[in-house]
Amino acid sequence: MFNAFMKKQFLLFLRSPQELLILLLMPFVLISILGFALGSIMDGDDGPPMKLNVAIVEHTSEQQELRDIEKKFGEIPNINTLLPLHILKEQLFNSEEVKSFVTLEVISPDKLEEAKKDEDYAAIIEVPEHFTLNTIQAIFLENQKKPELILYSNETKSLSASVVQSLIDSFQQQYSRMVLLGKNNLLVEPMNVDIISNTQTIDNHKPVGASAYYTIGMSVMFVLFAAAKASTMAYGEKQLYLFDRILLANVSRWTYLLSVFASTVVVVIAQLMILFSGAYLVYGVKFPSFSIFLLITLMLSLVIGAVATLLTSINYRVGSLNASRLFQSMFASMLAFLGGSFFQVSGFSDFFNIAGNLTPNGAAMTAYLKLMQGDSLKEISSHLYVLAILTVVLLSISISLFPKKGGVA
């Protein structure tokens, strides 16, 4: 009997080809539009955020290196105009314009690994040993090793991290120009100096492009509409008195409710597989681990199935389609916004970050993004736990609300 109910649910889905096209075709349209229209914003070209935190780690003191420089080169006129860290901290990050949205914090080298795990930092600037000495040597001596700054960017705050990268790039260019101007009174031949900005993502995260981001965002959003569709079809069977006939046939109501849950799970799995397969063929979006991708897809499908049963129970309880209509017209969009389907809201505040990761689509989206960035199952597991808990809670509420009879309980 359960298999018969499942087959019935699938046939009902197939009898609505227009809605199936919306669930499968519309995401591709939105991925293309948002990917091209908002791609520059995703890459950080929209300007600085309101507030961001940056840490700087110095392995050697610039004052100590200044003494080493004086021992090697003697007294250099206007040496302060050539000290890169002094210029970086005092003239760049301490300027009124930059201070209005950037807070620079100096941390000790032994705190570096801990700082990498701190989501509050948009970026971390690591200054290797003898950085200032190598910079001065590159100015005055030929064939010297180029000084290098290491920038760790937080990919969970890609917009903020890109702002820091732009500041560092600007610093490199300005410093090179200042060297040429500041050496007019020196005896050596003027030469340019390049400071390499070696950018790394914290925990070796891979950056996620706009097309990949919106592929995930639109996919986890449109599965919400699949839940609304499933609950709408289930209530249509109540209006046709099909549910009453099922009860008269001495079939358990739980069998019917679980068939709604199971069929929705299978439909959502198929929907996600089609969407991600199409995105792979058209946009080249792929995940490094197919097995973990399947696990996330399964967990998301289970919680969407639970959402469908909850909407079905509420519809049956109140005797109307209001629950499904309200969810589709308002709550699905709210969940999509909190989950970050349109743009990252985690940078707004900690509240949005926590609230977004507690939604079904938001938890799944974060898990997909972390997987795409190279995270392991251990680092993704917390989001899978959220999906599992939501599934159990929503199913429990659905079972408690589902009426014992075909009419209003």
Contacts for 287 with CB less than 8 Å, ≥ 6 apart: 293, 368, 371, 372
The whole-model pTM stands at: 0.59
Q: How far is CA 25 from CA 29, 63, 82, in A?
A: 7, 62, 58
* Nearest Cα to Cα of residue 342 among 332, 328, 327, 354: 332
What pLDDT, on a 0 to 100 scale, did the predictor assign at position 398? 92
Structure tokens at 241: 């008195």
What pLDDT is recorded for position 308? 92
CB under 8 Å to 128, separation ≥6 — which residues? 59, 148, 149, 150
Give the pLDDT of the chain (409 residues) as one tens digit per residue: 556 656 666 566 666 666 666 677 778 777 777 766 555 555 544 444 457 888 888 888 777 777 777 777 777 666 666 778 878 888 788 877 787 788 888 888 888 888 888 878 888 888 888 888 788 777 777 656 677 788 888 776 666 777 788 788 777 777 776 666 555 544 344 344 445 555 555 555 566 777 888 889 899 998 998 888 888 887 776 655 566 556 555 566 777 788 889 889 998 998 899 999 988 888 888 899 999 999 999 999 999 999 999 998 998 888 888 898 999 888 888 998 888 887 777 666 678 888 889 999 999 999 999 998 888 899 899 999 999 999 999 999 999 998 865 444 3
Question: Comparing C-alpha atoms, which of 101, 205, 210, 112 is closest to residue 163?
Answer: 101
3-state secondary structure of 365: helix
Q: State residue 339's pLDDT score.
A: 87
Retrieve residue 266's tokens.
Answer: 């299978």
Check residue 405 and give its pLDDT. 57
3-class secondary structure per residue, 243-258: HHHHHHCCCCHHHHHH
Angle at which helix 332-339 crosses helix 360-372, to 10 degrees, equals 30
Contacts of 277 (CB under 8 A, 6+ apart): none
> Tokens 């890109």 correspond to what residue?
162
Q: Quick check: helix, strand or coil at residue 106?
A: strand
pLDDT score recorded for residue 242: 61
Q: Three-class SS of residue 38?
A: coil
Pairing status of strand 196-201 against strand 121-127? unpaired
User: Which domains does the chain possess?
Assistant: 2-42+209-401 (no CATH), 52-204 (3.40.1710)
